[in-house]
C-alpha cells in the first residue's frame, strides 16, 4: 500500500510487515526517513538530526544555515559534486566537462500494478497484485530528469526499484554511473553478508562487521560471476535465522555489477548497488533516456529465514516464467559426464534406455553434437548437427528417444565462437576484440559481440533451425568464459563504454526471442555452472545450473548460500558418479540423491555402469522426488543448520504452505566413534497439529518437534544421510 501526504511531500510504502518512507524537504531534496518494521502512518523525518559539522558544505539555498548539509542528510538517491562526499548513486559528465548532478524533487505519479522495463528483466504482476510510485527529480542546470520507480508487493514484503534518466537538454550528456538502489541507514553497527568464492564453489556465505570506509563486492568479468553474487544482506550483529533485523538487496542483472557500503564519519551507512562503473559510460543525446536494471529489497524483523522465504515466494510467483507452471518438471539425465565429446546416436540411445527404465523422463544431449566439435577448440558458432555422430540428424534421434517415453533436450553455447569454425572464418570481426591486439582466449574460445543485432540475428537463425527440426522440450544455455577485449566495431570510440551493458541487453534480447517463439521449451541457464546465477537470468531461464561441482558435500555449502535469496526450484542439481570428478570424494548414492533433491533434480552419470542395487536406489530416489515434488518446490524453506558452522551435519526442511506436510533432510559429515546423541529442532510446523513421521507411530505434536526436537538416528559411515517425512493427522 502506498500512502501519500501531498501537503508535506511524504511518501510511505507499506508491505504486510514493513514500512519504507521518504520525504522532500524544504529545499526539495528527497530524503530517506525510514525502512524497517511496519509503523502506522506518521512523519518519520522527526528521526532525522542535523547540526553544524566542519567541512560539510551547505547548499546555496541554505544561506547562512550551517546546520543543513547533504553530507549528513540521508538521501533517497545520492548525487555527485554538490556537497555529499559519500558514495554517489549517479555521476553525469555534462557538455562543459563538469561531473555534477543535483537532483531536486519535482513531482510524482501513482500507477496500478508493476512497472515494466523494456529490454530488461523484472518482477511482474497484475494490476491488483502491486502498486507503483514514480517520483520525478530534476537537475535544472543540466536539464536532466530522473524518475525513481518503486513497486510494492505487499504480500511478500518486497519493494522493487529502478531509475530512469532522461536528457531534456539540447546538448549531449554522458552517464558515468547510474545505480539502481541507494539506501541510507541511520546506524553502522551492522554486519554485511555477501556470497563469494570461485568456480566450483559459488555463493559461499561471508559475514563481517561494517567498518569505517567503503566495503564492496562486484564483478568486471562481463558476467555476474562465480566470485561474487549480486545479492547482499545488511543485518544486526546478533541476527540469526529466526531473530533480528536484516535487509536483503538483490540486483536483477547478469553483467558487471557493484554493491558497495560506506560507513561515514558519523556512523551511519549507505548501500549503493547497480551496474559497475568500470568501463561504463552511456551517451544520451537530446531526448534520449537510460533505464537502470531493477533491484529488489526485502526487510525482515525476524531473521534471515523470514527474509529468504519472502524472496522465494516472490521469485516463484512473480519472476519466473515457467513453461511447467502448475505442473511437475521432468527428472532428467545429462550425458556429459558419461561420454564427454565421445558419443554417437547409439551411445546416446543406450543411456536414454537405461534412464527410462528407472523412471527418468528427460534426456539431455550435451556438448559435442554440432559442427566439428570433438574437443574444446573447434566448432562453436556452427550450430548444425554433426551427421557423422548423428546420422539422420535430430529428425531421426529425437523420435527414437521419445519412443522410449523420454522428452528430449539439447545443449547450446550461443554467445561463443571457436576460431576453428566456419562462422569465425567468415566473420572474424563478430568476436569481441580490440583492433591491433591479439585476443585472450578462455576455454579455447572467443566471445561473440552480442551488443550487435546482426550477430544475434545470425546466431538466432541457426538456433531456430535446430530447435524447429524436432520436438525439443529443454535447452541448456551455457556460457563458459569471462569477457575480455571488450570493444565493438559497431560503435564509435566515444561510445565503447556502452559495450558491456549492450552485451547483456543482447543476451536478454535473444533469450526473450526464445521465450516468445518457443514458450514450451524449458531453458536452463549455465555459465560454467553458477557464474551467472542471478535474478536477471532467472527471468528468462527459470532454473540455473547451480555449480559445475556436483560433489554432494560441496553442494551443501553451495546450495545453502544460494538459498538465502533463490528458491530450490531454480537450482539445477544432479547426482553424479563417484569418485567425484571435481574432488575425488566418494559419497553414498543415497546422500547424493538427498542433496540433489533440493533442486531441479537430475542425473549426470553412466547408468550402464551402475549395479543392480544402485539402480534400485536410483528408482527409489526418482519416485520419492516425484512424490514430494510440490513440497520440495513450493514449500517454505528452512535452514536448520549451517554447513559452514557445524561440520558434523547439515539439515534443511521444506514445509507445505498449510503446515500439514514437511520433509526434513540431514547429511552427516565425517563420523566419529561413539558419536554424540542429539536432537534436531524442526521449524515451521503448526504447534497444535499432531504429526506422523514416516507413516509410523507414535504421533508428535508440532510444539514438541519445534521446542524439544526429534532424536537423530545413529548412522555409521562418513557422509551418510537420511530424510524424515512428517504428515499431520486428524
What tens digit of pLDDT does each residue of 518-547 get?
999 999 999 999 999 999 999 999 999 999
- CB count within 10 Å of CB 40 equals 7
Q: What is the DSSP letter of 9?
A: T
pLDDT of residue 372: 96
* Cβ–Cβ under 8 Å, residues 540 and 488: no
* Cβ–Cβ under 8 Å, residues 587 and 580: yes
Q: What is the DSSP letter of 328?
A: P
pLDDT of residue 515: 97
The alpha carbon of residue 593 and the mean position of all alpha carbons in its chain are separated, in whole angstroms, by 24
Q: What is the pTM of this model?
A: 0.98
- Per-residue pLDDT tens digits for 328-375: 999 999 999 999 999 999 999 999 999 999 999 999 999 999 999 999
* Cα distance between residue 347 and residue 315, in whole Å: 39
Q: Please tell me the number of Cα atoms within 13 Å of 360 on its side-chain side.
A: 30
SS3 632: helix
* Cα distance between residue 116 and residue 128, in whole Å: 15
* Cα distance between residue 362 and residue 334, in whole Å: 9
* Cα distance between residue 530 and residue 198, in whole Å: 9
List, by residue number, the catalytic residues: 534, 614
**Nearest residue to 474 (alpha-carbon basis) of 507, 414, 518:** 518
pLDDT of residue 220: 98
pLDDT of residue 565: 98
* Cα distance between residue 611 and residue 74, in whole Å: 65
pLDDT beneath 50: ranges in the chain: none
Kind and range of the H or E run holding 209:
strand 201-209
pLDDT of residue 673: 84
pLDDT of residue 53: 86
* Cα distance between residue 80 and residue 85, in whole Å: 8
- CB count within 10 Å of CB 440 equals 12
Task: Using alpha carbons only, give the angle 633, 638, 644 rounded to the nearest 5 degrees.
Answer: 115
pLDDT of residue 521: 98
Q: Please tell me the number of Cα atoms within 13 Å of 442 on its side-chain side.
A: 17
CA 691, 697, 699, 700 torsion-angle sign: negative
Q: Sketch out the chain's domains with CATH numbers.
A: 2-318 (2.70.98.60), 639-729 (2.60.40.1180)
* Cα distance between residue 529 and residue 548, in whole Å: 4
* Cα distance between residue 724 and residue 696, in whole Å: 11
| 98-103 contact pairs (CB < 8 A, 24+) | 99/176, 100/142, 101/139, 101/142, 101/144, 102/139, 102/141, 102/142, 103/30, 103/77, 103/79, 103/137, 103/138, 103/139, 103/144, 103/146
Amino acid at each position: 500500500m502506498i500512502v501519500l501526504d501531498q501537503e508535506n511531500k511524504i511518501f510511505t510504502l507499506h508491505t504486510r510487515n514493513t514500512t519504507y518512507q521518504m520525504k522532500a524537504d524544504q529545499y526539495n531534496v528527497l530524503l530517506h526517513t525510514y525502512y524497517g518494521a511496519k509503523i502506522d502512518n506518521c512523519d518519520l523525518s522527526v528521526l532525522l538530526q542535523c547540526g553544524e559539522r566542519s567541512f560539510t558544505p551547505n547548499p546555496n539555498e541554505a544561506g547562512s544555515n550551517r546546520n543543513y548539509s547533504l553530507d549528513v542528510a540521508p538521501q533517497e538517491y545520492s548525487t555527485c559534486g554538490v556537497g555529499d562526499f559519500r558514495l554517489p548513486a549517479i555521476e553525469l559528465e555534462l557538455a562543459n566537462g563538469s561531473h555534477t548532478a543535483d537532483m531536486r524533487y519535482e513531482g510524482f505519479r501513482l500507477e496500478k500494478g508493476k512497472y515494466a522495463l523494456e529490454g530488461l528483466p523484472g518482477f511482474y504482476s497484475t494490476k491488483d497484485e502491486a502498486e507503483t510510485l514514480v517520483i520525478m527529480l530534476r537537475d535544472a542546470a543540466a536539464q536532466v530528469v530522473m524518475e525513481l520507480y518503486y513497486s510494492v508487493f505487499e504480500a511478500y514484503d518486497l519493494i522493487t526499484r529502478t531509475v530512469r534518466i532522461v536528457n531534456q537538454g539540447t546538448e549531449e550528456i554522458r552517464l558515468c554511473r547510474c545505480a539502481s538502489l541507494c539506501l541510507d541507514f541511520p546506524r553502522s553497527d551492522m554486519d554485511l553478508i555477501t556470497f563469494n568464492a570461485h568456480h566450483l564453489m559459488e555463493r559461499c556465505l561471508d559475514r563481517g562487521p561494517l567498518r569505517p570506509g567503503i566495503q564492496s563486492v562486484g564483478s568486471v568479468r562481463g558476467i555476474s560471476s562465480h566470485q561474487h553474487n549480486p545479492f547482499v544482506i545488511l543485518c544486526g550483529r546478533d541476527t540469526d535465522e529466526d531473530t533480528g533485523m536484516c535487509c536483503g538487496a538483490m540486483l536483477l542483472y547478469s553483467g558487471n555489477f557493484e554493491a558497495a557500503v560506506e560507513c561515514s564519519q558519523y556512523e551511519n551507512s549507505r548501500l549503493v548497488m547497480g551496474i559497475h562503473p568500470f568501463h561504463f559510460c552511456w551517451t544520451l543525446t537530446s531526448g534520449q533516456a537510460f533505464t537502470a536494471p531493477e533491484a529488489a529489497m526485502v526487510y525482515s524483523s525476524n531473521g534471515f529465514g523470514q527474509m529468504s522465504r519472502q524472496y522465494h515466494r516472490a521469485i516463484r510467483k512473480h519472476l519466473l516464467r515457467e513453461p511447467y507452471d502448475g505442473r511437475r518438471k521432468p527428472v532428467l539425465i545429462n550425458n556429459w559426464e558419461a561420454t564427454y565429446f565421445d558419443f554417437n546416436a547409439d551411445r546416446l540411445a543406450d543411456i536414454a534406455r537405461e534412464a527410462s527404465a528407472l523412471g527418468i523422463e528427460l534426456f539431455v544431449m550435451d556438448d559435442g553434437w554440432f559442427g566439428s566439435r570433438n574437443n574444446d577448440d573447434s566448432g562453436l558458432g556452427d550450430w548444425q548437427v554433426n551427421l557423422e555422430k548423428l546420422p539422420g540428424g535430430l529428425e531421426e534421434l529425437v523420435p527414437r528417444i521419445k519412443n522410449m517415453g523420454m522428452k528430449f533436450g539439447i545443449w547450446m553455447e550461443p554467445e561463443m565462437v571457436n576460431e576453428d569454425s566456419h562462422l569465425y572464418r567468415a566473420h572474424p570481426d563478430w568476436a569481441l576484440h580490440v583492433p591491433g591486439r591479439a585476443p585472450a582466449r578462455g576455454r579455447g574460445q572467443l566471445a561473440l559481440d552480442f551488443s550487435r543485432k546482426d550477430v544475434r540475428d545470425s546466431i538466432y537463425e541457426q538456433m531456430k533451425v535446430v530447435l524447429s527440426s524436432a520436438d525439443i522440450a529443454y535447452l541448456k544455455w551455457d556460457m563458459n568464459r569471462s569477457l575480455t577485449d571488450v570493444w565493438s566495431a559497431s560503435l564509435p570510440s566515444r561510445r565503447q563504454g556502452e559495450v558491456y551493458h549492450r552485451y547483456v541487453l543482447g543476451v536478454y534480447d535473444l533469450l526473450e526471442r526464445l521465450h516468445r517463439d518457443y514458450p514450451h521449451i524449458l531453458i536452463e541457464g549455465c555459465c560454467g555452472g553458477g557464474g551467472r546465477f542471478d535474478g536477471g537470468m532467472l527471468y528468462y531461464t527459470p532454473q540455473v545450473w547451480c555449480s559445475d561441482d556436483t560433489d554432494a558435500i560441496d553442494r551443501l555449502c553451495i546450495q545453502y548460500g544460494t538459498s538465502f535469496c533463490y528458491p530450490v526450484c531454480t537450482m539445477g542439481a544432479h547426482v553424479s558418479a563417484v569418485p567425484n570428478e571435481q574432488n575425488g570424494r566418494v559419497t553414498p548414492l543415497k546422500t547424493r540423491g538427498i542433496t540433489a533433491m533440493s533442486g531441479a533434480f537430475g542425473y549426470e552419470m553412466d547408468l550402464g555402469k551402475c549395479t543392480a542395487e544402485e539402480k534400485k536406489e536410483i528408482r527409489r530416489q526418482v519416485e520419492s522426488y516425484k512424490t514430494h515434488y510440490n513440497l520440495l518446490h513450493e514449500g517454505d524453506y528452512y535452514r536448520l543448520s549451517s554447513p559452514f558452522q557445524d561440520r558434523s551435519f547439515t539439515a534443511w526442511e521444506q514445509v507445505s504452505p498449510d503446515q500439514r506436510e514437511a520433509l526434513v533432510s540431514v547429511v552427516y559429515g565425517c563420523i566419529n566413534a561413539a558419536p554424540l546423541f542429539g536432537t534436531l529442532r524442526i521449524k515451521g510446523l503448526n504447534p497444535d497439529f499432531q504429526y506422523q513421521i514416516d507413516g509410523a507411530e507414535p504421533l508428535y505434536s508440532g510444539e514438541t518437534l519445534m521446542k524439544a526436537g526429534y532424536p537423530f538416528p545413529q548412522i555409521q559411515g562418513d557422509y551418510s544421510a537420511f530424510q524424515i517425512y512428517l504428515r499431520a493427522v486428524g
